[in-house]
């Protein structure tokens, strides 16, 4: 099947390929951006179409479930449709679904369109990273990966400010309508400029339907279990049932796939040591990247009381730093062992995450500035070298399947990371609050300063707190406990992200085979 997707017979001018590739990157950017702009404006959507508050989160959940099911199918769909037609079809459906979301008048309509939007958007990210290694020779892959990487990590960073501005200036409908014009343009450019290839209809005739169902059930159950675990408890019957169902279906799917000559997802890529290490790094990056993008709005909204536009302005620091560092990342990525660059990147990124574990209830833009600069400078070195490590030595025919798995690992890392963060915040706030009260009653001046207690309140209490003092301090203590829980979450994701350093010694020195590419 390799001849179906290797563009060996296509000879196009470099400019044509670059424009086609950038069109793909724009489509990917819009799909990633959509998740964040909608997340920041869920309350507005909920009020506009009268959605019950307990149903509001499903607007995001169904999108993420459909996306995570679609991502590993990228290889199969690329073989069937070809890279060009897969992208055109995906971005076309994404545009149609975006228009449908904007036109929705009730919860059911919006959910149906969000499922289609998530599934069509899910294939765009791995398709773009596949294109890097299919379209370009070795010496151009660093630049292509950087363009894709910058847009992939920039989208969730600028999402809050774009979502807040659209909602406050226009209406919630524009959260979806904004996708239409760029989507149509990128589809037309990709259709015109990407290489023409022949699809393989035999893939559909030999499709293992049961494996497809098992994979979908495994990923859906996992996403639902992770969503409910922080509030219902990881050991609740409902959550345990979902996680066991995910494990059972996943094991069945893996067993069938490993026995098939042409599985819907090629799991045998994990036998390649560098791909396995790169995927582990992608998973850990997902924890740190998605976790940080989640924690900053939580802190600024619930602790500092900022709106979406103000939150987005603060988060722009990371995006600007990424853009500044990107040319440096390209230059180093061409000349340096990806294992070394990855080690430096993950060490610095983990340090930047740990810096945010020192926040207090009064922390704001100034306190968040340098941690964001450190993380923004490191992110490209956590994305580009692991991508090259995982995909750079594979022949073009294997890249779409491998790219789907590689990107799936990052999404799963993000889902698990956010579930852990919510669990820490939900379960640790109460005991931390009790500890703060004990320290205040003991007259601890450092605790009083952290909480923001008025001067003299604790000293005059002399080991006891009267009803008036308790009433005055209660909201301050609750806020301070939430800050401490958030700080613990920052520390946990910093430690987990730093675990990437433990995997790097197992990677082999890079070997870049020479394949025929369009020029």
Q: Token match 């290797």: residue?
A: 6
Contact yes or no for 153/25 (Cβ under 8 A)? no
The whole-number pLDDT of residue 465 equals 73
Rounded Cα distance between 246 and 230, Å, is 17
Mean pLDDT by 10 residues, the chain (519 residues): 43 77 95 85 82 80 92 91 93 97 93 95 92 88 89 85 85 93 96 85 79 95 94 94 97 94 91 96 95 91 87 89 91 89 97 97 95 96 93 88 94 93 94 93 87 75 71 92 97 97 92 54
Residue 162 tokens, joined: 């774009």
The whole-number pLDDT of residue 204 equals 74
Domain chopping of the chain, boundaries:
1-207, 208-263, 266-425+495-511, 428-485
The whole-number pLDDT of residue 13 equals 44
Report which of 413, 405, 77, 496 is spatially closest to residue 222, judged by C-alpha positions: 413
The whole-number pLDDT of residue 72 equals 94
Rounded Cα distance between 272 and 257, Å, is 17
User: What pTM does this model have?
Assistant: 0.90
Total residues found in the chain within this entry: 519
Q: In this structure, what DSSP letter does residue 499 have?
A: T
Rounded Cα distance between 215 and 91, Å, is 23
Residues 6+ positions from 169 with CB-CB distance below 8 Å: none
Q: Do domains 1-207 and 266-425+495-511 have the same CATH topology?
A: yes
Classify the C-alpha dihedral 500-506-510-511 as positive or negative.
Answer: negative
Does domain 266-425+495-511 fall under CATH 3.40.50.300? My reply is no
Rounded Cα distance between 314 and 300, Å, is 9
Say which CATH superfamily domain 1-207 falls into.
Answer: MFS general substrate transporter like domains (1.20.1250.20)
The whole-number pLDDT of residue 9 equals 41
Burial class (CB in 10 A: 0-12, 13-18, 19+), 212: middle
Rounded Cα distance between 183 and 89, Å, is 11
Torsion-angle region of 443 (φ positive above 0: left; ψ -120 to 50: alpha; else: beta): left
Q: Is 82 helix (H, G, I), strand (E, B) or coil?
A: helix
Torsion-angle region of 78 (φ positive above 0: left; ψ -120 to 50: alpha; else: beta): alpha
Q: In this structure, what DSSP letter does residue 137 have?
A: -
Rounded Cα distance between 267 and 279, Å, is 12
Instruction: Give kind and range of the element (H or E) at residue 453.
Output: none
Give me Rg for the CA atoms of the chain.
24
Classify the C-alpha dihedral 463-467-468-470 as positive or negative.
Answer: positive
Q: How far is CA 209 from each of CA 20, 99, 512, rounded to the nearest angstrom?
A: 33, 31, 36
Longest dimension (CA), the chain: 84
Residues 6+ positions from 247 with CB-CB distance below 8 Å: 218
């Amino acid at each position: 099947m390799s001849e179906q997707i290797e563009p060996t017979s296509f000879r196009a001018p470099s400019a044509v390929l670059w424009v086609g590739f950038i069109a793909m990157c724009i489509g990917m950017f819009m799909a990633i951006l959509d998740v964040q702009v909608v997340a920041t404006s869920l309350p507005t959507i909920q009020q506009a179409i009268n959605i019950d508050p307990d149903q509001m989160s499903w607007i995001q959940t169904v999108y993420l479930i459909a996306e995570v099911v679609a991502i590993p199918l990228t290889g199969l769909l690329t073989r069937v449709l070809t890279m060009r037609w897969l992208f055109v079809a995906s971005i076309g459906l994404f545009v149609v679904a975006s228009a449908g979301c904007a036109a929705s008048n009730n919860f059911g309509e919006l959910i149906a369109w969000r499922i289609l939007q998530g599934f069509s958007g899910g294939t765009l990210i791995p398709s773009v990273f596949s294109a890097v290694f299919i379209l370009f020779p070795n010496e151009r892959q660093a630049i292509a990966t950087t363009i894709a990487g910058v847009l992939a990590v920039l989208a969730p960073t600028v999402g809050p400010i774009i979502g807040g501005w659209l909602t406050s200036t226009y209406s919630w409908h524009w959260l979806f309508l904004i996708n239409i014009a760029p989507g149509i343009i990128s589809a037309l450019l990709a259709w015109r400029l990407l290489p023409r290839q022949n699809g393989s209809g035999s893939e559909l005739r030999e499709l293992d339907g049961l494996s497809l169902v098992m994979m979908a059930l495994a990923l859906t159950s996992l996403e639902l279990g992770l969503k409910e675990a922080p509030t219902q408890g990881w050991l609740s019957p409902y959550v345990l049932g979902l996680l066991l169902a995910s494990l059972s279906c996943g094991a069945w799917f893996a067993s069938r796939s490993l026995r098939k000559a042409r599985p819907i997802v090629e799991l045998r890529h994990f036998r390649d040591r560098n791909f396995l290490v790169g995927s582990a790094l992608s998973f850990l990056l997902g924890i740190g990247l998605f976790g940080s993008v989640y924690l900053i709005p939580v802190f600024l909204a619930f602790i500092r009381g900022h709106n979406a536009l103000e939150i987005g302005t603060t988060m722009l620091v990371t995006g600007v730093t990424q853009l500044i560092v990107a040319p440096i990342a390209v230059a180093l990525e061409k000349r340096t062992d990806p294992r070394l660059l990855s080690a430096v990147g993950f060490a610095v990124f983990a340090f930047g995450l740990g810096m945010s574990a020192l926040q207090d209830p009064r922390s704001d833009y100034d306190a968040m500035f340098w941690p964001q600069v450190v993380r923004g400078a490191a992110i490209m070195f956590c994305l580009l070298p692991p991508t090259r490590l995982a995909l750079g030595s594979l022949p073009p025919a294997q890249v779409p399947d491998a790219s789907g798995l590689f990107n799936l690992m990052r999404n799963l890392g993000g889902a698990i990371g956010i579930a852990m963060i919510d669990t820490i915040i939900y379960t640790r706030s109460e005991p931390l609050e009790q500890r703060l009260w004990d320290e205040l009653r003991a007259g601890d001046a450092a605790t009083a300063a952290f909480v923001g207690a008025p001067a003299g309140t604790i000293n005059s209490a002399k080991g006891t707190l009267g009803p008036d003092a308790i009433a005055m301090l209660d909201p301050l203590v609750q806020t301070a406990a939430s800050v401490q829980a958030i700080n613990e979450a920052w520390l946990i994701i910093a430690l987990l992200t730093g675990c990437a350093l433990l995997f790097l010694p197992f990677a082999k020195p890079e070997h870049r085979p020479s394949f025929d590419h369009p020029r």
